[in-house]
Amino acid sequence: MNYEEIRNIQRKEQNSSRIVEIDSNFYQRLADFVKEKTEAYKKTQDPTEFRELENVVKLARRVFDSREQKIVMKALRSVRMKEYDDKTMTPEEKEIYAALVNVLKKHRKFFEGVLIGNYQFNGQKKQGDSTTLINGENNNILLVRIRKSVPRFVGADSKEYGPFKANDIVKLPKREADLLKDQGLAEVV
């Protein structure tokens, strides 16, 4: 590794909204290069060696900060769009990305519960009403996200549902939720 390689990666990161593909052992090689520069300075006490070390560290921070920001944003998009893609990340970055996605999924699940009147965070549980509606706890009621506008309709239970707009989060009987899901109008949350 050398200064020019780090500079090229930094330029690519700066000029791209996506995470640029780099060697999977980039961070190990960077650590070795910084160690080499540090030892060179300690040996010579040459101010030029110190400036080179300083420049390498500054440039490496820019690369890291840019990639870190992109990873955080990608994790957020992954949870929202349900798309998981870590192809251009190093093994270290993949680990952070996976952890972020898991935390964000947990947070999103918490909020979906809030939207149906259930509050559960860090072991505390408070319900807005006496019926438990979180998916999995009552198989007859499902929480769904509406994907496309749905006009008012009468369900199998003779009750009226809707109208719903795209991105509405609603609770529906399983039969009606499955019907909308099968037609591509909703997805179970």
The three-state secondary structure class of 48 is helix
Q: What is the rounded distance in angstroms from the CA atom of residue 185 to the CA atom of residue 146?
A: 6
* Per-state percent for the chain, helix, strand, coil, to nearest 5: 55, 15, 30
Which residues are CB-neighbours of 67 under 8 A, at least 6 positions away? 13, 19, 20, 93
| Residue count (the chain) | 189
- List, for residues 63-93, the tens digit of each pLDDT value: 999 999 999 999 999 988 888 888 999 999 9
- Which parts of the chain sit beneath pLDDT 50? 128-138
pLDDT at 132: 38
pLDDT of residue 131: 36
Among residues 54, 97, 60, the alpha carbon closest in space to that of 77 is found at 97
pLDDT, tens digit (0-9, with 9 covering 90-100), for 108-117: 888 888 877 7
Beta partners for 186? Answer: 146
Position 117 scores a pLDDT of 76
pLDDT given for residue 125 in this prediction: 57
Domains, the chain, in order of start with CATH, read: 3-110 (1.20.58.1030), 129-188 (3.40.5.50)
- Amino acid 124: pLDDT: 56
DSSP single-letter state for residue 150:
B
6 in Cβ contact with 60 (< 8 Å): yes
